[in-house]
Structure 1
Amino acid sequence: MIPHDRPVMAEADIAAAAGMELHTWRRRHGSDFRARVPVVNPGERLRLYDQAQAAAFLEGRPIPPAPPAGEPHPDDLLSTDEVAAALGTDASTVRAYASTGYLPHGTELHGRRYWPRHVVQARIDAGDQRHHPERTGAGRQPGDPRNTAPRGRRTEARVQEVAAELARAEGEALPALTADELAQRYAVSRRTGERLLAAAREYLQQTGRGA
C-alpha cells in the first residue's frame, strides 16, 4: 500500500537522483540505504521508500521519522495483491477485472498498477459476488470476466504485461519471472507459462526493449 498524500520513490528513482546507474548505486549504497530507510510497502516485489527519507539519505542528512501510521484512507493506493485480498480472489483475476471494466483500470506508478481504496470499497459495496465465486472444482467459474474476453486479445495483453515485468526486472536487477509463477498467476499449465515467457521475450526484441 502507498499511503495517501505520501510521495514514494523506487530504488531506480533514487539511483537516478544520485546520478548513478541502478546496479552501481546498489553496489555502493544499497545495503546502507536499506539498513537506514524502511520500505513503505513491506512484502511487495517492488520496494518503495518515503521520498523525504530517501532525499535525506541522498543529501547526507539525518533520516527523518516516518509519518505516523493513520487510519485507512479512501485515497490510499492498494497494490494488485492487496486488491485481490480485499476482494477475496487472486492477482490474475484482479488484472482480468481491470481489463474487462469490472474494476477501473487503476493508476500506474513505478511500473506497477494501484487502485485507490475507495474504488475497491465501491466494488465490494456494489454487491456483485463475481469477485469471490464459490469454487467447487478446478478452472474458472461462470461469471469470471476472464471467460468473456476473446482469447487472442487476452493472450496479447498477457504477453505485453509479462514483457513489461521482464523489462523492469532487467532494469532494476530484480529476479526474473518464471514459467511456474506465470502458471500460478494466470491459472494455466506450466507449458503455457513457458510459451508466455517466450512470447514476451520475442515482443521485447521486436520493440527493441530487450535482448
Structure 2
Amino acid sequence: MTEDDIATASGLPVYTWRRRHGADFRARVPVLNPGERLRLYDAAQATAYIKGARIPASQAGGAAHPDDLLSDKEAGAVLGIDATTVRAYATTGYLPAGTERHGRTWWTRRSIAARRDSADQRHHNPGRQPGDPRNRAPRHRHDPRVTEVAALLLLGQVNTAEIAERYQVGQRTAQRLLAAARARPES
C-alpha cells in the first residue's frame, strides 16, 4: 500500500493523514522499498496500524511470489539490464506493457521471469558483436586533388586563393587541400 491508500483507508485526506499520523506510522511500519521515491508498505501491517491492532511481522522477506509487482529497477535487476531498457522493451512489445498503478508502471514477477528464461535473450547480447563488418573503421579516401596540388607546390609557390579558383571550392577546402599536399611525403 502507498501512503495515499493508507490515508484513504483511514478516511482522511492524504495531507491530513501525513500531518497527524505520518511520522508515527513511518516509525512503526517499515517501508518495503527503501530508496524508492514511491514508498510502499506491507498491506497487513498498514491495516493493523489503521485498526490500532498489534502490527504483525512483515511477509516481504519471505519467498518471492509470482504475482509480485516489480518496478522498472527491480525488473531490470532480475533481467540484468538497465531500468531504461525495461521501459523501452515494454514500449516495443518485447515485454508486456505492465500495469499502471500510482502513476508508475509495474510488471509481475511471473512475466519478467518468463522473459528471463525464454529462448530469445535479446538483453544478453547487446550491440554489435566481434567480427561484425560494421565495426571496421571507415576506409581512408584519397582525394586526387591533393596529388595535383602537391605537383603545383613542386613547380612553385601556390596559395589558397589560386586553389579555390582552380577547383571551384571554398577557402576552407582550399586550405585543407594545401595542408594535405604539404603533409605528403615527397616522392
Band the TM-score falls in, shorter-chain normalisation: 0.5 to 0.7
Residue from 25, 31, 44 that aligns with 1:33: 25
Computing the radius of gyration from Cα coordinates, the structure with the larger value is 2
Match of 1:113 in 2: 105
Match of 2:43 in 1: 51
Other structure's SS at 1:49 match? coil
- Give me the identity figure in percent: 62
Q: Separation in 2 of the partners of 1:23 and 1:30?
A: 9
- Which ranges in structure 1 are unaligned for 5 or more consecutive residues? 1-8, 137-141, 143-211
1:62-211 equivalence runs, <5 A: 62-67=54-59, 69-134=61-126
**CA separation of 1:28/1:68 partners in 2, compared to 1, >3 Å: closer, same or farther?**
closer
| TM-score, normalization by structure 1 | 0.54
Q: Deviations over 1:163-207 (max 9, x none)?
A: xxxxxxxxxxxxxxxxxxxxxxxxxxxxxxxxxxxxxxxxxxxxx
Match of 1:21 in 2: 13
Other structure's SS at 1:115 match? strand
Match of 1:173 in 2: none
Q: Given the alignment of the two structures, is residue 12 of structure 1 paired with residue 4 of structure 2, yes or no?
A: yes
- Which ranges in structure 2 are unaligned for 5 or more consecutive residues? 129-133, 135-187
Higher relative contact order structure (alpha carbons within 8 Å, sequence separation ≥ 6): 1
Q: How much does 1:12 deviate?
A: 0.7
Q: Deviations over 1:37-66 (max 9, x none)?
A: 112223322111122211221222221222
Q: Separation in 2 of the partners of 1:126 and 1:68?
A: 27
| TM-score, normalization by structure 2 | 0.60
User: Residue type of the partner of 2:122?
Assistant: R
CA contact (8 A) 2:69 2:109 kept: yes
Count matched residues.
129
